[in-house]
Amino acid sequence: MKTLAVVLAGGIGKRMNSKLHKVLHPVCGKPMVGHIIDLLKQANADRIVAVVGHGADAVKAYLGAQVEYTLQEEQLGTGHAVLQAAPLLSDEEGITIVICGDTPLVRSATLERMIQVVRETPAAAAVMSVRMDNPHGYGRIVRGSDGRFLQIVEQKDCTAEQREIKEINAGTYVFDNKKLFDALSKITNDNAQHEYYLTDVFGILNGQQETIVALCTEDATEGIGVNDRVGLAEAQVWMRRRINREHMVNGVTLIDPENTYIDSGVKIGADSVIWPGTTLSGATVIGEGCIIGPNSDITGSQIGNRVTVKQSVLSEAKVADEATIGPFAYLRPGAQIGEHVKIGDFVEIKNAVLGAGTKVSHLSYVGDAEVGSNVNIGCGAITVNYDGVNKHKTVIGDNAFVGSNVNLVAPVKVGQGALVAAGSTITRDVPDNDMAIARERQENRPGYAE
Ligand code: UD1
Ligand code: CA
């Protein structure tokens, strides 16, 4: 028995008022449809078919070869959307998960329970439901006086009485594959929106005396369907809480979880402390015992153990153990900071490797450079890496001392143990252990100022 899956991602999503297709809007850094694909992979789906239509190219570009596609040329409703998968799936034996691309909070455990119920009962279908205080906009689960599931009625087709129902259709279903496509062939668009509703399949199956289970989950947030930016923000809040909770359970201290923004997929070691206003995104990995924040923005970076990052911005940077960064530092792509390095305030590092124990304490720019270990780069010293056309490299050997307010005009090399006097503009290589001084000699004119 195969596990098949259909992801509905073809709708127009007009309530988003966006050029970006709805299912590609990120929730905690990952497009909604990406969360859905992760969920289906966890459920060991043998085949995943994405129904694409509106914005098909963008959805395909994002999902790539990990799913199969079927094109829904006209968006005639969710039932019509699933029907587009019939040529690919209707001959298969097995169960079919049907899930909307805009419900990123469905939990894997809930989906597993639904699959189990359909397999073991066996049932023709299971639908995930949740109770919502404000069910407006969702399809309602209509039950008989005995509590037995009867049908799903869309908001716009509800009677006044049905509108009061708080149990809603969360838009995640598991079907017996054959029964799904058989019932789908019978749906019509005879309803308020003149759409082919997937939800009508339930009324049809019920009429055929099939077993249907409406599985009501405790966690109502699982049912959040994102139809507009308000829903997007709501989904984001709950996803963030889940992510933050997981980090805390794993031993990370979040000083103020409601003001800490950690993307899905970020890894943080135990005993690290994250201060408020911090955003950790992309494929960022943070080691153990770090102190991060407040107000730091770290993207796609790898941070070792016991590193401190205060009020700084890091983008695609690597920082080794026990380095300290900030406050107010900016590490740009290609910054590789060695162990015990100190990067202080108002320092910018780009595409540069800094060896262990090196210090760049204040007001420096180090770009396109190879800096050895235990180097001291004085306050205000900079690499002059750009001549207006090309970028050039600066090499600074181990134990070198670069005085304050030095310009290193690249390409240039400062040898090991060399010393560059403060205020020098260096245009020629400095040999190992030499001292270079390149500035106007001072002249004092006695009494002149008076
Ligand atoms: C749907 C359900 C509703 C449920 C809610 C849960 C139907 C008729 N209604 O309503 O009962 O409470 O989800 O969030 O199913 N799509 C297509 N092609 C189409 C239409 C939609 O691929 O022709 C896709 C959309 O991209 C979206 C998903 O199907 O990912 C759901 O469509 P949407 O229009 O958001 O349905 P809702 O009105 O939210
Ligand atoms: Ca929806």
Say which residues have a Cβ less than 8 Å from residue 213's Cβ, sequence separation at least 6: 114, 117, 118, 121, 123, 125, 126, 127, 149
pLDDT of residue 1: 87
pTM: 0.93
pLDDT tens-digit readout, 230-246: 999 999 999 999 999 99
How far is residue 425 CA from its own chain's centroid?
A: 44
pLDDT of residue 156: 96
Q: From edge to edge, which strands make up the β-sheet containing 401-402?
A: 253-254, 273-274, 291-292, 308-309, 324-325, 342-345, 359-362, 376-377, 401-402, 419-420, 435-436
Task: Compute the C-alpha angle 306/301/236, nearest 5°.
Answer: 105
Distance from the alpha carbon of residue 121 to the mean position of ligand 2, in angstroms = 29
Question: In the structure encoding, which two tokens stand for residue 111, read together?
Answer: 């989906």
Report how far residue 8's alpha carbon sits from residue 226's, in angstroms, rounded to the nearest whole number: 13
194 catalytic residue (yes or no): no
The answer to whether the beta carbons of residues 266 and 280 sit under 8 Å apart is yes
To test ligand 1's pocket by mutation, which of 23, 24, 78 has the most ligand atoms within 8 angstroms of CB? 78
Closest-CA residue to 328 (of 364, 289, 284): 364
Report how far residue 274's alpha carbon sits from residue 121's, in angstroms, rounded to the nearest whole number: 47
Q: Would you give per-residue pLDDT tens digits along the chain (450 residues)? A: 899 999 999 988 999 999 999 999 999 999 999 999 999 999 999 999 999 999 999 999 999 999 999 999 999 999 999 999 999 999 999 999 999 999 999 999 999 999 999 999 999 999 999 999 999 999 999 999 999 999 999 999 999 999 999 999 999 999 999 999 999 999 999 999 999 999 999 999 999 999 999 999 999 999 999 999 999 999 999 999 999 999 999 999 999 999 999 999 999 999 999 999 999 999 999 999 999 999 999 999 999 999 999 999 999 999 999 999 999 999 999 999 999 999 999 999 999 999 999 999 999 999 999 999 999 999 999 999 999 999 999 999 999 999 999 999 999 999 999 999 999 999 999 999 999 999 999 999 999 999
The number of C-alpha atoms within 13 Å of 23 and in the hemisphere containing its C-beta is 30
Looking at ligand 1, which residue's alpha carbon is closest to its atom 21?
11
The number of C-alpha atoms within 13 Å of 402 and in the hemisphere containing its C-beta is 38
Distance from the alpha carbon of residue 53 to the mean position of ligand 2, in angstroms = 15
pLDDT of residue 86: 98
Question: In the structure encoding, which two tokens stand for residue 277, read together?
Answer: 């206003």
pLDDT of residue 352: 98
pLDDT of residue 221: 96
pLDDT of residue 11: 87
3-state SS class at 249: helix
Report how far residue 383's alpha carbon sits from residue 295's, in angstroms, rounded to the nearest whole number: 28
Given the CA of residue 171, which atom of ligand 1 is nearest to it? 6
Given the CA of residue 154, which atom of ligand 1 is nearest to it? 11
Question: In the structure encoding, which two tokens stand for residue 190, read together?
Answer: 């005879």
pLDDT of residue 400: 98
Closest-CA residue to 115 (of 46, 204, 63): 46
Task: Kindly identify the ligand whose nearest atom is closest to the C-alpha of 9.
Answer: 1
CB-based pocket (< 6 A), ligand 1: 8-11, 23, 51, 53, 72, 75-78, 80-81, 100-103, 138-139, 152, 154, 168-171, 197-199, 225, 227
Report how far residue 274's alpha carbon sits from residue 357's, in angstroms, rounded to the nearest whole number: 25
